[in-house]
Amino acid sequence: MLLVAFSASAQKQFEMNLWQSGAPNSNGDSTDTAKVFVYLPSDKAATGRAVVICPGGGYSGLAMDHEGKEWAPFFNNMGIAAIVLKYRMPKGNVDVPVSDAEAAMKLVRANASSWNIKSDDIGIMGSSAGGHLASTIATHSSGDAKPDFQILFYPVITMAPGYTHQGSHDNLLGKNARKKDEKLYSNDLQVTRVTPRAWIALSDDDRVVIPSNGVNYYLELYRHDIPGSLHVYPSGGHGWGIHTSFRYHTQMLLELESWLRSF
């Protein structure tokens, strides 16, 4: 993992290759490289908080703009550093994107002082399949890879047939996934009393990733006494990200901002 310290006052936006000398857990595609795009707020505005952002795309591609880079101004204006992760596609090897997301979390913590970030205030965010990756890191990872909070947009949570997003399931675990792997990566079943707090948003009319994914995750957080905030909008379908065409765009941003200011 490339651990290069940058001065926050010298450079506010830059990109980095995540792995310096070969990435672990190959997916068989040598052209598929992991990167992070780092957006730092001004020194004056910086609160020390940061969020690693995992765009969605069904574990077959990435919506890098409206579920990734275009979120940077929102967070930077709140004094929060935004680190957008271009993770590798699993192609049936779950360890590929998981190792990338864990490495991104560790990278931010390793550069916390030079990026004007507090090492105990680093969250993870994900949309759709990126929400599954984010919730996987929140429920499975430990040490420097474990986030302090999580933000999930219309997330894929379960790998259970009939409830999961089948494309994400097949790309992550394979079409003939073992039942024990489906259970292991059904992240509602992996919530414990040390899972980080969460903000979850989705639409009631989502026909791509059924709402029970995010709702069941919230219920498990509640059952384990983990602070959670669930927002179900009447319409919008799936994949709206930060698009202003989403009918509840302004309300959603205000609710997210209020939650981020609550702790």
**Number of structural domains found in the chain:** 1
How far is 253 from 78, CA to CA, in rounded Å?
Answer: 12
Does 7 fall in a domain? no
Does 9 fall in a domain? no
End-to-end CA distance of the chain: 31
Question: Which CATH number goes with the domain that contains 214?
Answer: 3.40.50.1820
Q: Could you report the per-residue pLDDT of 33-80, keeping only the tens digit for each?
A: 999 999 999 999 999 999 999 999 999 999 999 999 999 999 999 999
pLDDT along the chain (263 residues), means of 10: 41 90 91 97 97 98 98 98 98 97 98 97 98 98 98 98 97 97 98 98 98 98 98 98 98 98 98
Q: Could you report the per-residue pLDDT of 74-85, keeping only the tens digit for each?
A: 999 999 999 999
pLDDT of residue 7: 40
pLDDT of residue 124: 99
Token reading at 118: 């507090």
Q: Which structural domain range is residue 149 located in?
A: 16-260
Instruction: Give residues with Cβ within 8 angstroms of 114, minimum separation 6.
Output: 5, 6, 7, 8
Q: Could you report the per-residue pLDDT of 99-108, keeping only the tens digit for each?
A: 999 999 999 9
How far is 117 from 60, CA to CA, in rounded Å?
Answer: 32
pLDDT of residue 1: 46
The secondary element (H helix, E strand) that includes residue 103 is: helix 95-110
How far is 157 from 217, CA to CA, in rounded Å?
Answer: 7
Does 48 fall in a domain? yes
pLDDT of residue 11: 52
How far is 224 from 226, CA to CA, in rounded Å?
Answer: 6
> What are the helix (H) ranges across 127-231?
129-140, 166-173, 179-184, 212-223
pTM: 0.95
Does 101 fall in a domain? yes
